[in-house]
Amino acid sequence: MVNARNTTRLLSMPVLWMGVVQLCFGLLSLFLFRDRVAAAFLEPAGVMLLASLLITVATSKTDLSKVSFRDALMFATLTWIVTGLLGGFPIMLVTDVSFTDAVFESISALTTTGATILTGLDNMPKSFLLYRQFLQWMGGLGVVIFVVAVLPMLNVGGMRLLKAETPGPVKDDRLTPRIANTAHYLWFIYLLITFLCALAYYFGGMSPYDAIAHSFTTVSTGGFSTHDASMWYFQSHTLLAVSNVFMLLGAISFALHFRVLHSTTPRLYWKDEETRVFLYLVAGLTLILTFYLHQEGRYPDWEESLSFSAFHVISFITSTGYGAADLSSWPAVTAMFLVFCAYLGGCAGSTAGGNKIIRDIITFKVIRREIRQILHPQAVLSLRYQGDEVDNDIRDAVMGFMSFAAGSTLVITLMLMGTGLDFWSSFTAVAACINVLGPGFGQVGSNFQPVSDIGIWILSGAMILGRLEYFTVLALFVPAFWRY
Amino acid sequence: MVNARNTTRLLSMPVLWMGVVQLCFGLLSLFLFRDRVAAAFLEPAGVMLLASLLITVATSKTDLSKVSFRDALMFATLTWIVTGLLGGFPIMLVTDVSFTDAVFESISALTTTGATILTGLDNMPKSFLLYRQFLQWMGGLGVVIFVVAVLPMLNVGGMRLLKAETPGPVKDDRLTPRIANTAHYLWFIYLLITFLCALAYYFGGMSPYDAIAHSFTTVSTGGFSTHDASMWYFQSHTLLAVSNVFMLLGAISFALHFRVLHSTTPRLYWKDEETRVFLYLVAGLTLILTFYLHQEGRYPDWEESLSFSAFHVISFITSTGYGAADLSSWPAVTAMFLVFCAYLGGCAGSTAGGNKIIRDIITFKVIRREIRQILHPQAVLSLRYQGDEVDNDIRDAVMGFMSFAAGSTLVITLMLMGTGLDFWSSFTAVAACINVLGPGFGQVGSNFQPVSDIGIWILSGAMILGRLEYFTVLALFVPAFWRY
Ligand SMILES: [K+]
Ligand SMILES: [K+]
């Protein structure tokens, strides 16, 4: 049985956290940016801080050491829902969009999706834009802790593969110490990479404000920008290259970053099968797109084709979703190609979305083994990852994940088409949300305003579903979850 | 090592068979229909009969009892390619289409896909139209024997699940007796159902010619028609209902039909988990579509909505692909819904395409078990089909199949978009071909003429790939196939 008191007590934490964040941005607006939107942050912040205080007092006798797996599962989904709802208030107050749209924008930020219903970013208050960027950064950190600490324990989508990867000395099998331990080791790495990214952007030519704002959404592979023109606002191939490096870092396992830093052995990146395949894929897909764009004669020289190709392949495969060219002027097949990259996904244990390279590898190996099995019907063929035999339950979990991801795309696309959106827009909108990618094409090419309210709620759900790797959310919907 | 002599000897059989078929249609044209196209059949037939004679003489010392699994795999793919190429000659000679298009039409017939590059069917020679219909019927019989006798032995896509289902007393594990045995027991069932279908169509109001012609493509779930208006040429809801019954029969395992007939126990249909789920799905999907069309106010009353809904759901889920309404006037979401039905597919061991209900069931159960596993991380949860535990290797094969099917759709759609077709047309064309469904939407809504030559060859390959359940063809592309 889920303990309602435990859950409520746990939920007071994200409420408190969101209150503190909005309080800080209220103060930033008031004293640093002086952009007259402080009230939009301070009013909701006051209510949240009060509410979290009341909850804490009311549930003070809760023993949090008794938090069960089910409480944790419930907590994960509810956290993204609750912070999504609460994070929307300043968005609604500053921009006058509807509650539905504000919550979509907020969930899009916290899940590091980066799909937006806003236009005219360049003229918006600076504190508000930074708030949006910061939500992505915070969401990214939450995701890293969640995927490194929680998913391997539950073997969600086969992630038991990564259980031994948890950083730090404590290999505890209980959830609370594991989360605390992971958070303890990873927040510093996350902060460090963000800092280096901001520094690099600054030296690459961005203003300090833009450098910080974009570092937040690069490392979290979130993809929000403070400009409508996204990363091409700066018109600098140097900045695209900087962005490439840090998007890639954001899409590689943070547990692996920790081990590399701890042992000062960069070669560990290359020794990791998933990271190696990921980098090979990025290189291969970039080459394909470069050749295609070059023979289409879209850009004057090879260098430019290569720069734009690399940036977009990396932006999409890491599910960041930055743009640097008017993609709608590219042939439709390139859009489809980039969506395909987004489905491949980044590495597990990172902020990236999509199916994840580790699952692509296992799936590829399962299929390859099936083909070989046909030629040797009696043979017992092995299936190894990183040198070790992959267990049945992991294969089942991975393949279940892949099939569910494909099925969800089909079903949610069908639902969106039911709201009146055309097929191409529906499909790319769904791909943008379940892969926490961000940009869509067709009618949703510049923003998600053309989607109906029902469609917006469906997509909001899709972002949470994809971000929590489907099964975390699905577990709440089986009757067994609510029994004994 | 594949034995080239064995393969050549084996291939003389489909060449001989195709020669005989075209000879017969030449004679039909000459003496029965008197439609002046006899030469288009007799000329290629002469060449084929001569060629098969020469091959047989040249390879007369071949010992066919030494046919290996690899020879058989090679034979399966080559048979569909060779008969596809040869079957195209009369099409090219009668209609003046290009060789590329004629081969597409021929492969489309033999794989029971039913996608067409022709228009103006109603004015074409009767012998030619019947030839097209008969190719589907023949292809359907070939498929039934292939899927009942060969796939379970190789566990292609997890079909070892059906190994015990082979009809007849001999449960031989060697391939040649197994194929002979299966063919021996199944051709009669296939013929019987076709005969009953033709009779029912005749009493439902079709001319004897149309009744026979449509029985060929109903039982084989092929979907070719002798009229551009397809099944709605007859404007009869009675005929739609007749068609429903026989499309369903064509999409249920012919091994099961055999057991029902042999034991005279129709209840066996209901006791079979796959058939039961299939019928439930058909009913459920029909109801959904009926309600949708009714609330859209598309038809005057519930009866008409129900009749059109049932017919289209059955036509698409069985991958027949008959049409009875101007689908392009329906909302886009219904087209997508029907494509979704086609992916679900019919039952294994039938002529239907798609992923097959048995794989849908296993996939659903794998996903359901994964969700439960999250709640009970230590428990060993069972996964049963038809009361028996499903082995690991079957689950892997099924899930590999599903992932490969989803991946192929994405990749082949991408390739078609590269030839300049738009996304909706590309996607539905690919779905129509890999699921051996037939009808596409968008630019390929009425026929496949708008597809470029390269696109046509890609789609021809996709039909064979889907018809032979992917892995049969893929096995030919691993280096191990060609070694020792
Ligand atoms: K993103
Ligand atoms: K068909």
CB atoms closer than 10 angstroms to residue A47: 15
End-to-end CA gap in chain B:
5
How far is B45 from B41, CA to CA, in rounded Å?
A: 6
User: Domain segments of chain A: what residues?
Assistant: 1-97
Q: Is A88 annotated as a binding residue?
A: no
How far is A195 from A215, CA to CA, in rounded Å?
A: 7
Provide mean pLDDT across the span A259-279.
91
Joined together, the tokens standing for residue B67 give: 């046919």
C-beta of residue A165 within 8 angstroms of C-beta of residue A149: no
Provide mean pLDDT across the span A341-359.
93
Quote the strand ranges of A147-303, DSSP E. Answer: none
A322 vs chain B: nearest CA distance in angstroms? 22
How far is A315 from A68, CA to CA, in rounded Å?
A: 37
Joined together, the tokens standing for residue B32 give: 């029965």
Q: Name the pLDDT band for A217 (thresholds 50, 70, 90).
A: very high
Residues of B in contact with A73 (CB under 8 A): 374-375
Hey, is the C-beta of B472 within 8 angstroms of any chain A C-beta? Answer: yes
DSSP A416: H
Q: Is A407 annotated as a binding residue?
A: no
From residue A294, give the alpha-carbon distance in Å to each of A298, A339, B11, B92. Answer: 6, 20, 45, 39
B332–A417 C-beta distance less than 8 A = yes
Q: How many CB pairs under 8 A join A and B?
A: 158
| Identity of the residue numbered B364 | F
How big is the CA angle at A304 (ends A303 and A306), to the nearest 5 degrees?
65
Helix (H) or strand (E) holding B227: none
CB atoms closer than 10 angstroms to residue A312: 27
Torsion of CA A394, A400, A405, A409, to 10 degrees: 170
Q: Give pLDDT, residue A455.
A: 94
Q: Name the pLDDT band for A309 (thresholds 50, 70, 90).
A: very high
Give me the residue from A375, A396, A472 closest to B395, CB to CB. A396
Give me the residue from B373, B423, B478 closest to A336, CB to CB. B423
Residues of B in contact with A380 (CB under 8 A): none
Q: Give pLDDT, residue A2.
A: 64
C-beta of residue B389 within 8 angstroms of C-beta of residue B383: yes
How far is A221 from A351, CA to CA, in rounded Å?
A: 6
Burial of A368 (0-12, 13-18, 19+ CB in 10 A): middle
Give me the residue from B156, B403, B480 closest to A367, CB to CB. B403
Task: Say if strands A384-385 and B388-389 run parallel, antiparallel, or are unpaired.
Answer: unpaired
Residues of B in contact with A411 (CB under 8 A): 340
B393 vs chain A: nearest CA distance in angstroms? 9
C-beta of residue B363 within 8 angstroms of C-beta of residue B266: no
B393–A367 C-beta distance less than 8 A = no
Radius of gyration of chain A (CA): 22
C-beta of residue A217 within 8 angstroms of C-beta of residue A114: yes
Any bridge partners for residue A388, and if so which? A385
Hey, is the C-beta of B154 within 8 angstroms of any chain A C-beta? Answer: yes
Provide mean pLDDT across the span A306-318.
94
A481–B375 C-beta distance less than 8 A = yes
Query: Max Cα separation, chain A?
Result: 74
- What is the Å distance from ligand 2's center to B113 Cα? 4
Q: Give pLDDT, residue A137.
A: 95
B374–A73 C-beta distance less than 8 A = yes
Residue B167: name the closest of B244, B263, B66 by CA. B263
Residues A159-199: pLDDT tens digits? 877 766 666 555 556 667 777 777 778 888 999 999 999 99
- What is the Å distance from ligand 2's center to A299 Cα? 44
Give me the residue from B371, B399, B418 closest to A474, CB to CB. B371
DSSP A388: E
Residue B212: name the closest of B195, B192, B229 by CA. B195
Q: Give pLDDT, residue A5.
A: 77
Joined together, the tokens standing for residue A251 give: 């899409």
Q: Give pLDDT, residue B245.
A: 96
Residue A396: name the closest of B470, B360, B274, B391 by CA. B391
- What is the Å distance from ligand 2's center to A286 Cα? 38
> What percent of chain A is modeled with pLDDT above 70?
95
Joined together, the tokens standing for residue A203 give: 């030296």
Hey, is the C-beta of B341 within 8 angstroms of any chain A C-beta? Answer: no
Q: Is A437 annotated as a binding residue?
A: yes
- pLDDT means per 10 residues, chain B with 484 residues, are 74 89 91 87 91 85 71 85 92 91 94 91 90 94 85 78 63 67 83 95 94 95 91 91 95 91 88 94 95 86 91 95 79 89 93 94 92 82 88 88 91 91 92 93 88 94 93 83 70
Q: Give pLDDT, residue B171.
A: 55
Examine the pLDDT at A96 and tell me if it is beyond 90.
Answer: no
- What is the Å distance from ligand 2's center to B428 Cα? 13
C-beta of residue B30 within 8 angstroms of C-beta of residue B38: yes
Hey, is the C-beta of A155 within 8 angstroms of any chain B C-beta? Answer: yes
Rounded (10°) angle between helices B392-418 and A357-375: 110
How far is B80 from A338, CA to CA, in rounded Å?
A: 35
Residues in chain A: 484
Residue of chain A minimizing CA distance to B338: A414
Q: Give pLDDT, residue A375.
A: 81
How far is A297 from A287, CA to CA, in rounded Å?
A: 15
CB atoms closer than 10 angstroms to residue B341: 25
- Residues 379-408 in B contacting A (C-alpha not used; CB under 8 Å): 392-393, 395-397, 399-404, 406
End-to-end CA gap in chain A:
5
Torsion of CA B346, B348, B352, B356, to 10 degrees: 50
How far is B176 from B149, CA to CA, in rounded Å?
A: 9
Q: Name the pLDDT band for A482 (thresholds 50, 70, 90).
A: confident
Hey, is the C-beta of B316 within 8 angstroms of any chain A C-beta? Answer: no
A128 vs chain B: nearest CA distance in angstroms? 37
C-beta of residue A279 within 8 angstroms of C-beta of residue A266: no
Burial of B101 (0-12, 13-18, 19+ CB in 10 A): buried
| Identity of the residue numbered B478 | V
Examine the pLDDT at A64 and tell me if it is beyond 70.
Answer: no
Q: Give pLDDT, residue A361.
A: 95
How far is A78 from A9, CA to CA, in rounded Å?
A: 12
